[in-house]
Structure 1
């Protein structure tokens, strides 16, 4: 019988053994990618009034609805809420969310006081198109990424004071997400193409993204990888992903998150969570549903992701059964929450408040599933998160 993909990948994972996941979040290394098991928070309970299935001790609420005013403000929340991040703001915080619609996409923000009450909402970026995901910077900016062939990264001010600025030196391509590496003073970028690449932007001056070098990951698969400069990242006839021979291909790059020397990113085409150990220059697989060996794979449609100080990763699903799954540092993957009644939607923008006690995320198309995202929901879940 020919060796199919699932069997081959399982064999490769066993062969890789304990060499995988040498980064800081995976110091408790395990033999192969994450496997199903009991989650750290226990089973999901029955759905609450908002359709959220949560573990014991957690509560949820709706923070905003697309095309409706955010409660207590005069700001109308945007359609198709997508990538998001939280930022400290005095004794409160701000949640920023992209809008994945053409021409008027941009991004908006909600400000919370120390008790979690909404105090204001406002626009931070306008006049851009298909703003999908992005990432937060160490200097407190939100990088909003356009998802089209000539897409740009925009550096925005979560407080809405400074004007947003395009950063063409970071390349023109179908941007998805960004993650900052303050240790190596670089920004990692994913590309949402079936033959997309994984990029690294190194600014000339850390904290100033106006100028720098765009590199693409090169290699032959998991294990040691390298980087090579993209010759023409801004104005091109040949797309950035085709300019470097030997550039690695990733099937639909999605979320991107950096912590402790490791950049984690997802690819939807093969349902993988990757782990790039920047300290070792090594690429491994943190999760792949084809590599699940015991029980049913709980995580499908991998998309946006974020992490907690505990080392847990939280991975949102695009479709499937509308869950956010947690992947623990000891290699267990399990559902953390589920949104019922939003069957034609996707979960986007997971992000923790600065104190780690609240998780924000959206259902991009809501209960109606309308592709224009006019029925989007943005949620908050509070509870005893591991920190």
Structure 2
């Protein structure tokens, strides 16, 4: 394995430049990010919501699965998963997937500039196990089905337009998506133990109705140049998309995916081996950027899953497993817990996303205290986030 740290390109929340600030400024270091003291100090005692936070931060519950979102008539969906925030005038919208079958889908909560709930509603229904996804530069949400031969659905966070199934983006066990406006492609991860990393080239940028699906090819190593090859049958009817191209690079359980405009880098995680990868889109090279097995002793961050970034350049990584923490990795290559959810060991942390101004962080505990998809809880964290 290579011992590499996070290269400091700009990583942003979702798949588009939601913050304007950059992450990981500077050059590559020789070693991976190491445990140390975080910029906010250690999480303190659990608050009334069971969240351990650094001093100065507070939490509130904004929605619970199976219950009406406070102040609305909308019942929050089970198993909340991938999410993103969208600017809405002076307020914002938080979008969240529902990782259940057969109903699945996704919902939105609208907030005023003061953070008060202004509405909640469904944006796609009748889909299956909607896990992660990604935000597009034209402010739509790509909701991805994590099932064999699953689809990508393009949805409207405002709920004004009907969701559209994007068949051309391929049928496989989709996880996350990230749009690259410079090369006019959308990167896609696949959540299986021998999955692949894809990119979709729309015929017309801004429309996902047609285009070409390609898969990354590379040798057996963890870094080096890559090539892309067209997937002959994106429908997966003849064979699974990951098995159609000789030399396709295999990844152990693709998860979160982010494109960093400032550096031309797409970052993605693989939960099966605890790794973070970086694809340099301009140079067309792939590198292993983080591996939890390369941390001496007990790694503070395990079960890497969804990721999001703050305006200050800190990367927030949610755990599926581990200690039910959101850990941050600073531009100084320090890995530290930011928060921990207590009493919910049968759950996982999903959907971390900052508001457009970077002052509030949303996330969900997918199965809450019950360990069941009907027990999901969605939280908001406020406090002195670095800007």
TM-score range, shorter chain: over 0.9
In structure 1, C-alpha distance between the alignment counterparts of 2:383 and 2:138, rounded to whole Å: 28
In structure 2, C-alpha distance between the alignment counterparts of 1:198 and 1:271, rounded to whole Å: 16
Matches within 5 A, 1:1-387: 9=1, 12-13=2-3, 21=7, 23-24=9-10, 25-26=23-24, 27-220=26-219, 221=221, 222-259=223-260, 260=262, 261-293=264-296, 295-370=297-372, 373-387=373-387
- Please tell me whether the aligned partners of residues 106 and 126 of structure 1 are also in contact (alpha carbons under 8 angstroms): yes
Give the TM-score taking structure 2 as reference length: 0.93
Q: Deviations over 1:185-231 (max 9, x none)?
A: 11110000000000011111111011111111111231222211111
Once the two structures are TM-superposed, the CA of residue 40 in structure 1 deviates from its matched residue by: 1.7
Once the two structures are TM-superposed, the CA of residue 329 in structure 1 deviates from its matched residue by: 2.4
- Please tell me whether the aligned partners of residues 231 and 245 of structure 2 are also in contact (alpha carbons under 8 angstroms): yes
Task: Give the match for residue 6 of structure 1.
Answer: none
Unaligned runs of 5+ in 2: 11-22
In structure 2, C-alpha distance between the alignment counterparts of 1:23 and 1:231, rounded to whole Å: 33
In structure 2, C-alpha distance between the alignment counterparts of 1:278 and 1:292, rounded to whole Å: 27
Once the two structures are TM-superposed, the CA of residue 30 in structure 1 deviates from its matched residue by: 1.3
Once the two structures are TM-superposed, the CA of residue 235 in structure 1 deviates from its matched residue by: 4.7
Unaligned runs of 5+ in 1: 1-8
In structure 1, C-alpha distance between the alignment counterparts of 2:289 and 2:316, rounded to whole Å: 12
Q: Deviations over 1:358-378 (max 9, x none)?
A: 1100000100112xx100000
Once the two structures are TM-superposed, the CA of residue 244 in structure 1 deviates from its matched residue by: 0.6
Once the two structures are TM-superposed, the CA of residue 22 in structure 1 deviates from its matched residue by: 6.8
- Please tell me whether the aligned partners of residues 36 and 296 of structure 1 are also in contact (alpha carbons under 8 angstroms): no
Q: Deviations over 1:225-256 (max 9, x none)?
A: 22111111125221000011110000011111
Once the two structures are TM-superposed, the CA of residue 313 in structure 1 deviates from its matched residue by: 1.4
- Please tell me whether the aligned partners of residues 21 and 277 of structure 1 are also in contact (alpha carbons under 8 angstroms): no
- Please tell me whether the aligned partners of residues 306 and 351 of structure 2 are also in contact (alpha carbons under 8 angstroms): yes
In structure 2, C-alpha distance between the alignment counterparts of 1:38 and 1:277, rounded to whole Å: 30
Task: Give the match for residue 5 of structure 1.
Answer: none
Q: Deviations over 1:251-271 (max 9, x none)?
A: 011111111311111111101
Give the TM-score taking structure 1 as reference length: 0.93
Q: Deviations over 1:270-319 (max 9, x none)?
A: 011112121222222232111113x5210111111111232221110012
- Please tell me whether the aligned partners of residues 172 and 236 of structure 2 are also in contact (alpha carbons under 8 angstroms): no
SS of corresponding position for 1:110: strand
In structure 1, C-alpha distance between the alignment counterparts of 2:330 and 2:229, rounded to whole Å: 32
- Please tell me whether the aligned partners of residues 28 and 330 of structure 1 are also in contact (alpha carbons under 8 angstroms): no
Alpha carbons of structure 1 residues 88 and 311: separation in structure 2 relative to 1, 3 Å: same
Q: Deviations over 1:336-370 (max 9, x none)?
A: 11100111100000011111001100000100112
Deviates more, 1:306-315 or 1:72-81: 306-315
Deviates more, 1:66-75 or 1:181-190: 181-190
